[in-house]
Structure 1
Amino acid sequence: MARYHIETYGCTANRGESRRIERALRDGGHAPAEGPSDADVAILNSCTVVEKTERNMLRRAEELEEETAELIVTGCMALAQGEEFREAGVDARVLHWDDVPTAAMNGECPTPTPDSEPILDGVVGILPIARGCMSDCSYCITKQATGRIDSPPIEENVEKARALIHAGAKELRITGQDTGVYGWDQGERTLHELLDRICDIDGDFRVRLGMANPKGVHGIRDELAAVFAENEELYDFVHAPVQSGSNEVLGDMRRQHQVSEFVEVVETFDEALDHWTLSTDFIVGFPTETDADHEQSMALLREVRPEKINVTRFSKRPGTDAADMKGLGGTVKKERSKAMSELKMEIVGEAYGAMVGDERRVLAVEAGTGDSVKCRDSAYRQVIVRNATDHGVEPGDFLDVEITSHQTVYAFGTPI
C-alpha cells in the first residue's frame, strides 16, 4: 500500500477537504508516512489568499518535490492558478480535491481492511460489499493484502444497506476492491441482483456503484445496464478503469480485459441510458509503454469521451513484478501525463458545458466551500449550489436546479 503525506494551508474548508482525502486513502488501505521523505506521495493542499501566500506555496511545493517520490498539488491555488506551479518548474500533478485519492493510489484498487464495516458519514452511507478481487495486476500491491474475492450473501449486504438507510443515509456508496466480480467466489455473477435488491428498499435515496474492472462488468453488461435503466435510485454512473488503450500494455499490466471489451461495455450503457457518466482511469508511462501505445490510449480517450477521468503517472510499488521492469524516464512520463491531462480537461469541460441551461434533479450530499453545498445529479455529476443558507438547502435535500455555469469539472446550479 502507498504511504502518503498531507500538508494543508489556509481555511477550515481546506482542512475539511484534507480530512476527506485522508479518509478516502485510509479506506483504500493506505497509511500516513512519518514525513515527506518517507512518503510514496506527498499532497500539498494549497491556499492563495494573498500574494505572499502564493510565494510560500510555490516554495513549499519546490521543497516537497525534492523530498518525496511524487507530488500532488490541490486546493485553492491549484484550482485558480495551477499554471503558476508549472511555470515555476515544479514537477507535480495539479488536481481538483475530488481527483486526489484515486491519483494518489497509483491506479491500484481500493483495499478494504479485514474489519471494514458499513459507516454513516453525514448523509452518505459507505457499504463495502466484498473483500478481495480476481485480478493479479503486475503493478498493484493490494492483492497481497486482500487475496481473492470473498463475497458475503446478497441478503447480508441488503440488510446492511437497509440499516444505513434507516439510520439516515441518503446516498449509499457501494464499495469493494472490484465490485464487478461480486459473487464470483460463489460461482455466480450477482452484482446486478444485489443492486436490484438494494433499490427495492423503502426510502428516498440514491446508490452509487464503486469501481468495477471492465472484465467483471463485461460478463454481465446487459443485465447490469438493465438494472440501471429500471431503477432511478441508482446513479447512472459506472467507474470502469481501462488503464491503457493498448492491448500489449494491458497484457504487460496483466489486466484481464481487452480494449474491445471495455468499448463494448461503454456501447451497452450508451444504448440503455440517455444520460450517464463513464468514469475511467489511465496509467501513463508504464515501463513497456511506447509512443505508439500512448497514442492508442489518447485515441481511446477521444473515442469514448468519459465524463470523469483519472490520469496517473506510473510509479513502482515494492514487491510487484512491475517494480523490476526498467522504467521510463521522468520526462517521458511527465510529457505523456500532461498531454492526456489536457485532453481530459477538454473532454470533461465539454460534458459539463453541455449541461448549462438544463434543469436537473439533484441530491445535496455534503457541505462545500464557504456557504455552498455539493450536489449530484442522476448521473453523479457534481453540481454546486452557492448561498445554500439563503436557499434553505442542506445535505440530504432533494431539489430541482437550473444549471447556470460550469468550472470544467463541476457545474453551478440555482434552485428553481
Structure 2
Amino acid sequence: MARYHIETYGCTANRGESRSIERRLRDGGHHPADGPADADVAILNTCTVVEKTERNMLRRAEELEAETGDLVVTGCMALAQGEEFAEAGVDAQVVHWDEVPEAAMNGECPTTTPDAEPILDGVIGILPIARGCMSDCSYCITKRATGRLDSPSVEENVEKARALVHAGATELRITGQDTGVYGWDRNQGESLLPELLDRICDIEGDFRVRVGMANPKGVHGVREELADVFADNEKLYNFLHAPVQSGSDDVLADMRRQHRVEEFLEVVDTFDDRLDRWTLSTDFIVGFPTETETDHERSMELLARIRPEKINVTRFSKRPGTDAAEMKGLGGTIKKERSKAMSELKREVVGEIHASMVGERHEVLAVRPGTGDSVKCRDGAYRQVIVRNADEYGIEPGDRVEVEITAHETMYVFGRPT
C-alpha cells in the first residue's frame, strides 16, 4: 500500500475534494504518512486566489518535490494554470481532483478493503461486488490487503443494489479491485459481470449505473456479451475503465499483466461496434524499469490510435516488497521526460474530444455539488459536465436536466440548462 501525504489550501470546496481523495485512497488500502519525507507520494491541493497565493503554491510544490518520492498537484491553480508548475521546473503530475487517487496509486488496482460494505454517499450508491483479484502484477502491493477473489452471488449483489436504490441512490457505482473477473471463482473462470449488470438494470427506479475498473483480460472473454448489455440498458453509463498500462507486450509481460495489446484492442473494437457513443478510460504506467524508448513509443502510438476520453498517466515508483522494486530502475530524468510527453499527448487528445462537444445537447444527471454555486453532472457516456449557477436553475444532486455544452476545459465541459 502507498503512504500518502496531502496538503490542502484554499476554500471549503477544496477541503471537501481532499476528503473525497483521502476516502478513496483509504478504501484502496493506502494510509497517511507522518509527513512528506515518509510518504511514497505527496498531494498538493492548490488555491489560486491572488498572485501571492500562486507564488506560495509554486514554492510549496518545490519543497514537497524535494521531500518526497512523487508529487501530485491538483486543485484550482493546477486546473487553471497547470503549466506554471512545469515552467517553474517542478517535477509533478498535474491532474484534476477526480484523477488524484489513480495518479497516486502507481497503477495499482483501486479496491475496497476486505470488510467493505455498500454505502450511500449523497445520491451516489457505492457497491463493492467482489473482494480480491485474480492478477499478480509485479508492481502492485494492493493484493496483500485483499487476497484472492471472493465473489458474492449475483442475487446477493442485486439485493444490495436494490437496497441502495430504495435508500435514494440515483447513481450506482459498481466497484471492486477488478470488476471484469467478478464471478471467476464461482463460474469456472468466466465473468458473471454481464449477468449482474443486466439484473441490476432490471431494478425498478430512476437511476444510472457506472461500472468500475475492469482489467482487459477479464473483459476480453465476455466482451461481446458485455457490450450487448451496455447497448441494451439505458441505465448503464456507456463507460468502460480498462487499464492497458503499456503499448508494449514485452513490458506487459514484465509487469505480469494477463493481457496483450491485441486483446485490449479487441475489447475496444467490440465496444466501438456496439455503441454509438461511449467513453473509454484507460491507464498507462510510464517508466517501468524494463521500458525501452521503443516500448515508450509504442505506448504513445497506442494512445494516439485509440484516443480514449479519460486517461490516467502514472509515473512508475517502487513499492516495497513487490518484485518490480527489485528491478534496476530507470533514471528520474527519463521517467520525467516520458511522463511529460505522454501527459502532453493526453491533454491534446482529451482537449480535442471535449472541444468537439461544444454546441451539443445532452441529458445529464446531477451527482455532486461542485465548486461555489455549481453542480457536477454526468452525461450518458459518463463525461463530466459542470453546470454553474445551479441555485439559479434550481438544480440539485439527483436531478436530470437537458443542457447545451457551452465551453470546455481539458478534463471536463460546461453545460447550460436549456
Give the TM bin, normalised by the shorter chain. over 0.9
Aligned-partner residue type, residue 28 of structure 1: G
Matches within 5 A, 1:290-329: 290-329=292-331
Name the structure 2 match of 1:126.
126
RMSD: 0.7
Name the structure 1 match of 2:13.
13
Looking at structure 1, the residues matched to 243 and 95 of structure 2 have their Cα atoms a distance apart, in angstroms, of: 18
Deviations 1:172-230 (A, max 9, x none): 00000000000000124210000000000000000000000000000000000000000
Matches within 5 A, 1:170-189: 170-186=170-186, 187=188, 188-189=190-191
Larger CA deviation: 69-78 vs 199-208? 69-78
Q: 1:330 aligns with which of 329, 332, 335?
A: 332
Q: Cα offset for 1:399?
A: 0.8
Name the structure 2 match of 1:103.
103
Q: Cα offset for 1:58?
A: 1.2
Looking at structure 2, the residues matched to 58 and 189 of structure 1 have their Cα atoms a distance apart, in angstroms, of: 47
Deviations 1:367-414 (A, max 9, x none): 001100000000000000000000010100011111111112111111
Q: 1:203 aligns with which of 205, 208, 217?
A: 205
Looking at structure 2, the residues matched to 302 and 7 of structure 1 have their Cα atoms a distance apart, in angstroms, of: 34
Aligned-partner residue type, residue 152 of structure 1: P
Name the structure 2 match of 1:228.
230
Looking at structure 1, the residues matched to 365 and 87 of structure 2 have their Cα atoms a distance apart, in angstroms, of: 39
Residue-pair matches, total: 416
Name the structure 2 match of 1:362.
364
Matches within 5 A, 1:16-415: 16-186=16-186, 187=188, 188-415=190-417
Normalised by the length of structure 1, the TM-score is 0.99
Normalised by the length of structure 2, the TM-score is 0.99
Q: Cα offset for 1:252?
A: 0.3
Looking at structure 2, the residues matched to 11 and 320 of structure 1 have their Cα atoms a distance apart, in angstroms, of: 39
Q: Given that residues 108 and 142 in structure 2 are in contact (C-alpha distance below 8 angstroms), is that contact kept between their aligned partners in structure 1?
A: yes
Identity across aligned pairs (percent)?
Answer: 80
Equivalent residue of 1:354, what SS? helix
Looking at structure 2, the residues matched to 51 and 302 of structure 1 have their Cα atoms a distance apart, in angstroms, of: 36
Looking at structure 2, the residues matched to 73 and 189 of structure 1 have their Cα atoms a distance apart, in angstroms, of: 37
Q: Given that residues 162 and 203 in structure 2 are in contact (C-alpha distance below 8 angstroms), is that contact kept between their aligned partners in structure 1?
A: yes
Aligned-partner residue type, residue 260 of structure 1: E
Aligned-partner residue type, residue 259 of structure 1: V
Q: Cα offset for 1:111?
A: 2.9
Deviations 1:316-364 (A, max 9, x none): 0001000000000000000000000000011111111111111101000
Q: Given that residues 74 and 97 in structure 2 are in contact (C-alpha distance below 8 angstroms), is that contact kept between their aligned partners in structure 1?
A: yes
Gaps of 5+ in 1: none
Gaps of 5+ in 2: none
Equivalent residue of 2:82, what SS? helix
Looking at structure 1, the residues matched to 397 and 218 of structure 2 have their Cα atoms a distance apart, in angstroms, of: 33
Runs of 4+ in 1 over 6 A off after TM superposition: none
